[in-house]
Amino acid sequence: MGKRIFEHIIGCHAALTLLGVKAGSLVSFRKTDFDDFDFLLSSYRRCFARKGISLCVLSENKEYAHILFYRKPLLEEALKNENARKILLSLGYPQNILLSIAYLKRKYCAKDVFPHEIGLFLGYPPEDVKGFIENKGCNFLICGYWKVYANEKETKAVFDKYTSRTREFCDKLSNGATILELSAKAG
């Protein structure tokens, strides 16, 4: 497979981050589906950097790669939230954003427990991340882009917006636009 498929995978799973709507998105790739995955990733990393989008390979093996796409200013803002900070500090995260991402990567690669606090890095509301952790993924109000434990009505509106924006992004990709043309510039 080539770069168009690579772009469609990113577009369908990270459109909201590429548009600057959401702090981060997690995208999984089957590396073996591409002729030269590492080259593709490297070339896009440079292009995304010019748009203010960073990539962190959270885990990788011979067959798969799990990559966090994020916008540093949006992520810093999300993680500065008092409730987000409390969750992360209680789990041993450092204050620095890049050190926090590195710590998340170590936890993500660990085989014992999945770091559900990753939701904070994906721009999920802290009260929903906390609710998910405390309820072990059960007893949620609604399930959409994430499991919701508070503010059901407001979150439904957010989900509708996310669906609309993602659909629009993916339609434009399908009609020939490139992912870099559609990605918002930094700041």
How does DSSP assign 119-165, residue by residue? HHHTT--HHHHHHHHHHTT-S-SEESSSEESS-HHHHHHHHHHHHHH
Say if CB 184 and CB 54 are below 8 A apart: no
Q: What is the spatial distance between Cα 54 and Cα 35, in angstroms, rounded to a whole number?
A: 23
Overall domain count for the chain: 1
The pLDDT of residue 184 = 85
Does residue 19 lie in a domain region?
yes
Provide the token pair at 56: 């962190």
**How far, in Å, CA of 148 to CA of 121, rounded?**
16
C-alpha pair distances (Å), 169 with each of 127, 137, 155, 184? 28, 30, 21, 11
Say which residue the tokens 């992360």 belong to.
88
Residue 185 within any structural domain of the chain: no
Residue 34 lies in a domain: yes
For residue 184, being part of any structural domain is answered with: no
186 assigned to some structural domain: no
Q: How many CB atoms lie within 10 A of CB 38?
A: 11
Domain range for 58 is 3-174
Q: Is residue 159 part of a domain?
A: yes
Residue pLDDT tens, the chain, 187 long: 688 889 999 999 999 999 999 999 999 999 999 988 999 999 999 999 999 999 999 999 999 999 999 999 999 999 999 999 999 999 999 999 999 999 999 999 987 789 999 999 999 999 999 999 999 999 999 999 999 999 999 999 999 999 999 999 999 999 999 999 999 886 5
0.85 exceeded by pTM: yes
Report if residue 183 sits inside a domain: no
Could you tell me the two tokens for 23? 């702090």
Kind plus residue range of the DSSP H or E element containing 69: strand 64-70
Q: Is residue 182 part of a domain?
A: no
